[in-house]
Amino acid sequence: MLSRSSLSTLKAHCLSPEWREPAIGIVHLGIGNFHRAHEALYTEEAMLAQPGDWGICGVTLQGDVSKRDALMAQDGLYSVVERGPDGERVTVVRALREVLAMPFDRARLLELFADERVRIVSLTVTEKGYCRDPQTGDADFAHPGVAHDLAHPDEPSTVPGILCAALKARRHAGTPPFTVLSCDNLSQNGEALRQAVCSFARRLDPALAKWIETHVAFPSTMVDRIVPATTEADRAAAQAALGVRDEAPVPCEPFRQWVIEDRFPAGRPAWETAGAQLVDDVAPFEIAKLRMLNATHSALAYLSMLAGFETISDAVGHAPLGSLIHAMMTREIAPTLDVPPSFDLAAYRDALLDRYANPALKHRCAQIAMDGSQKMPPRILSTIEARLDAGQPIERLALAVAAWFTFLRGRADDGTRYAISDPLAERLTKAAECAGTPESLVDALLAVSDVFPAALARNPVLREVLVRAATKLQNGSLAAIDEYARLD
């Protein structure tokens, strides 16, 4: 099994044979595949270029100890399996020093939060992990976990509760605060997280809220790397390359990108030495990524779930669907973006399509289709609003939304059933299943105010194009894809 004692035989698979075990300087909430193929790898490379105590403690918030146990049995080691058209590269990552599982390791987590050597708390918990009210951006005080954390602040379970408990302890001890670094696909993720945390703190302790607002940095980031879920085939590939068993390898594409607002009062790793971009304003990069990559990923996922394509590479390999996504980016998304002159949107589009077509990645459409109610507003609805405000057509984007509506019925065109994984799954699937016509389907789901702002839901142009798209999809998604791919 992969372990620190086996590293001497794995030097060819390490970024450098030289390695000094660092103290923990980063606590990361949400120790999923993406973090381990992205921030953790950047951090190891940064420590090799400029040594420092930036070891990572990863925390799973799901109440499942299996990931913690698998990684800790390997002394925190795991491999990153990069797959591209030119082959496969397997790298053993050493930056992860400890893994905790909430709520079982709460005492140890609070101990680490109090350690002044911990100077960054980063997060990849997905949109739903922020427990935000979608209408106000504040913490969702109707959320059971948020209500629990307000009543039991010493036993937090949600992101706002955990961060407030940690920052309260730092303030009480006179320890400088850590920087809170969101790495989720959320518009202005740093500001979104700051608002959720501060609104929670105001309910808990107004003095704490004022201290957080004054002293704690919440820089925004833009992250990008396609990282599928791990399969048994990935474990077999890692073992074949390493000669030892790795229970937690991470498959990913060769491409990666990280744009970071450079605001770290307590210090940070030299991530720029590993290729990260440190900037004053992340927004243009973030919006381009959300609208170009994330939006089309979701469009591909929902259309593919209906049509029967299992992976993203299968989907873009279908010529009409590939053409539809190319046109969606070119004609409906790119014109809404305000990017620096050096940002070549056509080249970015073409690079995305090349990445989607990577046959080695096996990125499952079902994985991307999860949590649509959280993803739809920042990824697709924001672009639709911009185009409607400008009086511009939204046919292709509307097809993506209508595909999500139809997907919520839980069955593909051929009758294959699939599960809906979404925080609003019960409400959404009931609305979709009870709707007998395209018009009633559109009306039922536009009425979900957690997803659609009232002004957008009332827009007659949006309703008209959604009904048209839903009607086409009712007659078969492949035929609809072919028709929309040929739009002028």
Q: What is the DSSP string of 402-465?
A: HHHHHHTTSB-TT--B-----TTHHHHHHHHHH--SHHHHHHHHHT-TTTS-HHHHT-HHHHHH
- 365 burial class (0-12, 13-18, 19+ CB within 10 angstroms)? buried
Which fold would CATH assign to domain 283-485? N-(1-d-carboxylethyl)-l-norvaline Dehydrogenase; domain 2 (1.10.1040)
Torsion angles phi and psi, residue 274, rounded to 5: -100, 5
For 2-85, strand residue ranges (E) read 24-29, 55-60, 78-84
Provide the 3-class DSSP secondary structure of residue 59. Answer: strand
Give the whole-angstrom CA distance, residue 444 versus residue 441: 5
Strands (E), 286-419: none
Ranges of residues in the chain with a pLDDT under 50 are: none
d(CA 454, CA 226) in angstroms, rounded, equals 33
Neighbouring residues of 298: CB distance < 8 A, sequence distance ≥ 6 = 368, 369, 372, 375, 376, 379, 380, 400, 404
DSSP reduced 3-state for 205: coil
User: Whose CA is closest to 281, among 265, 301, 260, 312?
Assistant: 260
Question: According to the model, what pLDDT value does residue 469 have?
Answer: 98
So what's the pLDDT on residue 383? 97
Task: Write down the number of H helices and E strands in the chain.
Answer: 23, 11
Among candidate residues 413, 396, 404, the one with its CA nearest the CA of residue 477: 413
- DSSP reduced 3-state for 252: strand
CA angle in degrees (0–180, nearest 5) for 40-42-47: 95
pLDDT of residue 293: 96
Q: What is the largest CA-CA distance in the chain?
A: 66
CATH of span 4-279: 3.40.50.720
Strands 96-101 and 120-123: unpaired
The reported pLDDT for the residue numbered 53 is 98
CA–CA distance, 438 with 350 (Å, rounded to integer): 34
Q: Give the residue carrying structure tokens 């690079």.
A: 351
C-alpha to C-alpha distance for 333 and 291, rounded to whole angstroms: 6
Nearest CA among 181, 186, 168, 179 for reference residue 129 = 186
Residues 394-403 as b/e (b if ≥16 CB within 10 A, e otherwise) read: bbbbbbbbbb
Phi and psi for 350 in degrees, rounded to 5? -65, -35
Helix axes 189-204, 206-215, angle to 10 degrees: 150
Q: Give the pTM.
A: 0.86
| DSSP 3-state of 235 | helix
Question: Using the 8-state DSSP alphabet, how is residue 122 labeled?
Answer: E
Domain ranges in the chain?
Answer: 4-279, 283-485
What CA–CA distance (Å, rounded) separates 403 from 441?
A: 11
Q: Mapping DSSP to helix (H, G, I), strand (E, B) and coil, where does residue 85 land? A: coil
pLDDT score recorded for residue 85: 85
The answer to whether 469 and 395 are in contact (CB under 8 A) is yes
Nearest-10 crossing angle of helices 319-327, 477-485: 50
Instruction: Spell out the residues 6+ positions from residue 147 whose beta carbon is closer than 8 angstroms to its own.
Output: 141
Structure tokens at 345: 């949107």
* Cα first-last separation, the chain: 57
- CA distances from residue 54 to 21, 105, 182, 183, 293 in whole angstroms, order as listed: 10, 21, 17, 17, 30
180: part of which helix (H) or strand (E)?
A: strand 179-182
313: left (phi over 0), alpha (psi -120 to 50) or beta: alpha
Residue 332 burial by CB count (10 A; 0-12/13-18/19+): exposed, middle or buried?
buried
